[in-house]
Structure 1
Amino acid sequence: MATRPLETGRTALVLGVGGGIGSEVARQLAGAGWRVRALQRATSVTGAAGTSAATEATTNALDIERIQGDAMDRDAVLRAAQGCDVIVHAVNPPGYRRWAELVLPMIDNTVAAAQAVGATVVLPGTVYNFGPEALPLVGEDAPQHPRTRKGAIRVALEQRLEAASAQGVRSIIVRAGDFFGPRVGNSWLAQGFLKAGQPLRTVREPGRRGVGHAWAYVPDVARTMRELIEQRATLAPFARFHVAGHWDADGTQMAAAICRVAQRHGLQVQRKPFPWPLIYALAPFATTPREMLEMRYLWRETLELDNAKLVATLGREPHTPLDTALEATLAGLGYLGESVHALALAQ
């Protein structure tokens, strides 16, 4: 990825640079000439979800300023934010753990820092905010009545940003479906459809046939965020956008595309149902299976994101063809051989 010369007055702080979306936004901002700063810990219980060896290697290769600190430490966030025009809040507790006690204090610290330095907050959003009454086609202003604890926390997080807009803090929220990408190790695709760390022989399908599902290729989402950041002065103080991403209209297209890409690389892959009975059996004893069950409704009901507002703002939505995106993803996750793996991560 070519890097343009740094331009003055364009400095961004990325919280969660060790995660899939945080690292990709940092990468794209740096490539567009931004000065990028990262607040990160060597070992973190509050680091971004999705950290992988590939993500870490890519992040370490970026020309960014690194500041040691924790997103739970308000003073550390304030120090790191000095001189910044934008704060990308891409930090989440890993593995679904401790959401209730960590998510809101972290956004409060980001808001305080943004208010102190006059920065715009940029937040990668999710579909967890929405319950059945908003489905199937969901716009930015759809009612938010989540049916899960994590969804309620996401709603409260966004409400913090909306309230802060009355105090002069500008924010941009970009909501998208299930993330996937070459540097995203903690995702439904990497750990649900596929078996992490094992050869690619099986694709497990968690959804019901006929039920649509929204997917988002992380490089496309990051580019969308970067382009909105460039236009931040023209946006509303509290601006929300939806990324349509890759829409699987009947719940079968993602698995079919994985098999198609794998076959082009000489791999024969079978499609099987996701082992939900095993998840039910494990749920009483482990946090991650419990949270997976809580979010299962997203595999049973159609939720499509309406991107009309985004298209009206940018003129189009950044979009990589599905097979191209999946080939880069499978290569980046190490399923297509070492030479292809290295090539995918170099892009």
Structure 2
Amino acid sequence: MNLTSNLTRPRGNTVLVMGARGRFGKAAVHAFAAAGWHVIAQARSAQDELHLPQVVTLQCDALDTARILAAVPEVDVIVNAVNPDYARWDSLLPPATAAVITLAKATGALLMVPGNVYNFGAGLPAVLHEDAPFVANTPKAAQRIAMEQSMADAAAEGVRSVVIRAGDFIGGTGTWLDMAITKSVNKGVVTHMGPNDLAHAWAYLPDLAKVFVRVAEQRSQLAAFEVMHYPGITATGQQVHAALEELSGRTLKAKAMPWLMMQGIALFSPLLKAVMQMRYLWQRPHQLTGRKLENLIGKLPASSLHEALRAYVK
């Protein structure tokens, strides 16, 4: 149902998912609802696909904190799944972050944010621990570092928050997988983003969303500001290719990502220019360690690479 007036606070846990129509937002809504939470799903546009038991929808802009607080005065957890236009992070990410911090401060809710590996810069280490140093040598690294620092700074004002860092998403649309790697898989072709023997960090969205639920359930054990890593799936391009072959039941040709051609097109496309800045992710092996997260919630959700890729093979 639509949320048109103040929500009467239900018994049990309540989560506000900001950006509920996005890739991770949808997964979070489903995971929290499946775990018995009362879910408020915020998005700018209609959310018919989110009409689920225990879910109410709130259609408004994520920056309209006054309207959100008027409708949702009490909430236990806020998941920031707002995903601004990739090419306009510099102008959209700071106000979106400020808005969710404002909401968390006003409600006393725990703010949860899906992090990524951008913070570690273009020379990111092969193994990423929570204490690995940040390096702001790319625009996206600087922007994500600033975002997390604003959350850490807000702890002094009573805002509790946690960043759960993960690799590239598997699931939904608008990802490296559907837009590049498997774009032509039904024509018998797999696109390789870089050297096919380099480890790459992936996060299957249903698994990552379950992690958020379980961390939220242990929120009383968290410090004011926490960072944890979710290892997810570590796989090379060769392993992804092999899994896609097994799922499709046929041999697939390998094709290299046309980075040089893209570089030329990027001169006229801000979005493609932003994508090109992330090419290093396919030239550096990297994986995340998750001991800290496992110590908090126990055995981590871990679907197989085949399970995660199944939806990409029709």
Fold similarity call, TM over 0.5? yes
Unmatched runs of 5 consecutive residues or more in structure 1? 1-5, 44-55, 337-347
Q: Match of 2:37?
A: 34
Q: Match of 1:46?
A: none
Structure 1 contact 15–88 (Cα < 8 Å) conserved: yes
Structure 1 contact 208–300 (Cα < 8 Å) conserved: yes
1:211 matched to 2:214: no
Secondary structure of 2:237 counterpart = coil
Shift of 1:80: 4.3
Shift of 1:213: 0.8
TM-score calculated relative to the size of structure 2: 0.91
Cα distance change on mapping 1:81 and 1:111 into 2, 3 Å: farther
Unmatched runs of 5 consecutive residues or more in structure 2? 1-8
Shift of 1:192: 1.5
1:75 matched to 2:78: no
Structure 1 contact 13–80 (Cα < 8 Å) conserved: no
Q: Match of 2:234?
A: 247
1:118-267 to structure 2, matched below 5 A, reads 118-131=108-121, 134-181=124-171, 184-195=172-183, 199-248=186-235, 250-263=236-249
Q: Runs of 4 or more off by more than 6 Å in structure 1?
A: none
For residues 295 and 280 of structure 1, the distance between their equivalents in structure 2, rounded to whole angstroms, comes to 12
- How far does the alpha carbon of each residue in 1:251-275 deviate from its partner, in whole angstroms, 9 at most, with x for none? 3211221121111xxx553221111
1:324 matched to 2:314: no
Shift of 1:146: 2.9
Q: Aligned-residue CA RMSD in angstroms?
A: 2.0
Shift of 1:119: 0.5
For residues 119 and 266 of structure 2, the distance between their equivalents in structure 1, rounded to whole angstroms, comes to 23
Structure 1 contact 115–168 (Cα < 8 Å) conserved: yes
- How far does the alpha carbon of each residue in 1:59-108 deviate from its partner, in whole angstroms, 9 at most, with x for none? 244642112210122323333441111111000113x1321111111111
Structure 2 contact 189–252 (Cα < 8 Å) conserved: yes
For residues 119 and 196 of structure 2, the distance between their equivalents in structure 1, rounded to whole angstroms, comes to 24
For residues 97 and 133 of structure 1, the distance between their equivalents in structure 2, rounded to whole angstroms, comes to 22
For residues 113 and 9 of structure 1, the distance between their equivalents in structure 2, rounded to whole angstroms, comes to 20
TM-score calculated relative to the size of structure 1: 0.83
Cα distance change on mapping 1:133 and 1:324 into 2, 3 Å: closer
Q: Aligned letter for 1:140?
A: E
